[in-house]
Amino acid sequence: MPGLLSSPVCLTVIWFLSWSLRPSRAQIQTDEVSGVQYGRLGSNVTLACGKSQTRIPVVWHLNQSSALPWHKVTSDGSLVLLHTDHSAQGNYSCYDSQGLLLHSVKLRLGHPPGLLSISCQVPNHTHVRCSWVDSVKTFLPAKYNATLRGNGHEWRPCIVDITRKHCDVYQPRYWVTIHTLRVTETNGLGSETTYGRFRLHELLKPDPPESVLVKELEGYSKRLYVSWNSPSSWPLHDAFPLVFHIRYRPQGSMYWSEIYSDVSPVIISDALAGHLHQVQVRARDEVNSDSQWSEWSPLLLVRPWEVHTTTEPTEEPLPDDDDYPETSTAKTHKPEAEDEGNLGLVILLVLFSVVILTTVLSLIFVVWVRQRRRDHLAIQELASMVKMKSMPI
């Protein structure tokens, strides 16, 4: 027998057996640990200790620790977690009385999906992007399946971007009046399907015009030059022309002036000379009046061309386009000059009145002092006269 045990054949067999058994046992353990069980937050969650409930009593651990949340263990060794909250999540393991691992499971808690709130953007005739937000926070990873169809047509997949929670359809049946989007959210606790109905031609909303440029026109104190590009997401076919809406106002003014144009650039010819102006441009499908205006392009600031001298505006006339090129510039400079003049006058008046007041006051004082001295002398004279009278002669 010892000879047999020590025989190389037997050793090889034993080594082979232990080698082949070890990974298989490890395999079982990792499989069991990688198992995830989902439970509803706030409910009682039951975790079974594996499939066979033979080896009771059992001991449960959470994250390798024997400290467990509020719970009870049933007669078959299952762990019932009562009124669970987020802190009850983690790796649960059950062991038999010898400390042998029987089962391990990861518990994740959350809520089943609720209805979604869906909205769609149509930046051109060939692209629909729909995005959604959850109405309930599920705390659980979810998958989405989205399909779009035009009324009377088949469902077509809407390609989902799971991290950004949106989906894209290219080449939709744009001319079908009503489209339906169907989004199914699925997580470990269930699934929910939400339907949204849309009229694509009403959702059509181009991106804002790009590379908007505003600048002064040299020699023109009331003109501004505005140019832009169509949004790059808009197909530049003549079949889908855009109309552009330009608005501008002197900074600080409440009222916008407007221009509509099919083409870039436009010249604004009634700017307020010498003032900083705000300018913005937006775009819309020219044919489809149900469609939406794009957002406004970012606010740009520009000042019309000015004569950069400090001399009086009485030089050679400016080559302006309106009837009063001179007065328009003069107008804006005059109030400031007048203000300065007025201020000087006021200061002069105040100084003058102070001088007058001081003079008058000092005159009064002098007169008063002299009067007093005179009175004093008179009293002294009187007194001496009385004295003299009373002297015995």
Query: Apex CA 27: angle with CA 22 and CA 32, to 5°?
Result: 135
Q: From the centroid of its chain, how far is CA 172?
A: 30
CB of 175 to ligand NAG, least distance (A): 16
CB of 159 to ligand NAG, least distance (A): 10
Smaller CB distance to ligand NAG: residue 150 or 304? 150
Smaller CB distance to ligand NAG: residue 280 or 294? 294
Smaller CB distance to ligand NAG: residue 6 or 64? 64
CB of 289 to ligand NAG, least distance (A): 21
Cβ count near 132 (within 10 Å): 21
Cα–Cα distance, 194 to 208 (Å, whole number): 31
Smaller CB distance to ligand NAG: residue 111 or 127? 127
Tokens of 154: 């088949």
Smaller CB distance to ligand NAG: residue 145 or 180? 145
CB of 244 to ligand NAG, least distance (A): 18
Q: Which residues contact 181 (CB under 8 A, 6 or more apart)?
A: 118, 120, 130, 146, 147, 148, 158, 195, 196, 197, 198
Q: Which amino acid is at 11?
A: L
Whether the Cβ atoms of residue 236 and residue 261 lie closer than 8 Å to each other: no
Residue nearest to ligand NAG (CB): 90
Q: Which helix (H) or strand (E) holds 18?
A: helix 8-34
Q: How many CA atoms lie within 13 A of 249 on its CB side?
A: 8
Cα–Cα distance, 353 to 17 (Å, whole number): 119
Place of tokens 């033979």: 54
The residues that bridge with 37 in the sheet, in sequence order, are 107
Give the strand pairing for 156-161 and 166-170. antiparallel
Smaller CB distance to ligand NAG: residue 73 or 246? 73
CB of 109 to ligand NAG, least distance (A): 10
Smaller CB distance to ligand NAG: residue 40 or 331? 40
CB of 33 to ligand NAG, least distance (A): 4
Cα–Cα distance, 232 to 209 (Å, whole number): 8
Smaller CB distance to ligand NAG: residue 128 or 279? 128
CB of 28 to ligand NAG, least distance (A): 13
Binding site for ligand NAG (CB under 6 A): 33-34, 43-44, 62-64, 82, 87, 89-91, 106, 123-124, 126-127, 145, 147, 233, 235
Q: Which helix (H) or strand (E) holds 349?
A: helix 325-390
Cα–Cα distance, 84 to 106 (Å, whole number): 14
CB of 64 to ligand NAG, least distance (A): 6
CB of 42 to ligand NAG, least distance (A): 8
Smaller CB distance to ligand NAG: residue 174 or 225? 174
The residues that bridge with 245 in the sheet, in sequence order, are 260, 282
Cα–Cα distance, 75 to 56 (Å, whole number): 8
CB of 183 to ligand NAG, least distance (A): 10
Cα–Cα distance, 241 to 125 (Å, whole number): 12
| Per-state percent for the chain, helix, strand, coil, to nearest 5 | 25, 35, 40
Whether the Cβ atoms of residue 160 and residue 181 lie closer than 8 Å to each other: no
Smaller CB distance to ligand NAG: residue 1 or 67? 67
